[in-house]
Amino acid sequence: MKKRVISAIIALIIIIPLIILGGYAYYFGVGVLSIIGFYEIVSVYEKENKIHPFVKILIFISYLCIVLSSCNKSLDFNIDYRLYILNLFVCLLPLIFVKKKKYSVNDAVFMLAVTTLLSTAFNFLIIIRNMNVLYLIYVVLITIMSDTFAHFFGTKIGKIKLCPAVSPNKTVEGLIGGVFFGTFFGTVFYLTIINTYATVFNIILVSLVLSLISACGDLVFSAIKRNFGVKDYGNIMPGHGGVLDRLDSILFAVLAFSYLISFF
């Protein structure tokens, strides 16, 4: 517990100033997190399947191009489709030139899926900050509150297992408590800080969906870990695990926010 608290405090000391400053300091921070996230998920995969080093480098370059493509103060959720085409080619074309043992169809599909997911989510973290720092705080607040109260209710009154094959400790009671308070705090923050004239029903609905999707993000990343038989993606944060162990919910919530905002 002590390690978790100390790690969390250190992380906040580093992250909060970057969020407040924005600009290139924030872009650099997101870029570093995206690089660590790429390394973590590839390392998990390579416990069973080694990827050809040269192919891995090319995919990483393509991935990073997508992540950092919105460092031009972009204010909408549009990523140049040419970057996705490049990533598609980089992930699939090596199947023709590299021996199957060093780069298989499974390798290509996995790399294409995770690079598309992670690069888009990290890119949108930049765009949301460019749009309005309060939007970023809103999304992060919902995920933190959802996770905190899910853990609290899960440990105190949780009995019904939510998804035991993926995450044995998560419970239905924890999910309900987490979603309720995540939605509550998110709604209150939006209506008091961001826009006091917003339609209450719409904000409750958006906050609810973001909370649910953040929980799904946690489970999806847990499913990937379980598939490869690992407990954590890394150990960069003692007591917490790796970057992806901490950002899994936020990355999914960011993607959901980018989708929902187009309707309101």
Are residues 137 and 243 both part of a single domain? yes
Are residues 147 and 44 both part of a single domain? no
Which pTM value belongs to this model? 0.92
- The residue among 102, 131, 160 that closes a domain is 131
Contact 126, 167 (CB under 8 A): no
Are residues 175 and 207 both part of a single domain? yes
Are residues 158 and 72 both part of a single domain? no
- The residue among 131, 154, 184 that closes a domain is 131
Q: Which domain holds residue 96?
A: 1-131
Question: Which residues, 6+ apart, have CB-to-CB distance to 252 below 8 Å?
Answer: 121, 213, 214, 216, 217, 218, 220
Tens digits of residue pLDDT in 26-47: 999 999 999 999 999 999 999 8
Residue 198 CB-half CA count within 13 A: 20
- The residue among 81, 110, 131 that closes a domain is 131
Domain count, the chain: 2
| Low-confidence winner among 81-90, 133-142, 165-174 (lowest mean pLDDT) | 165-174
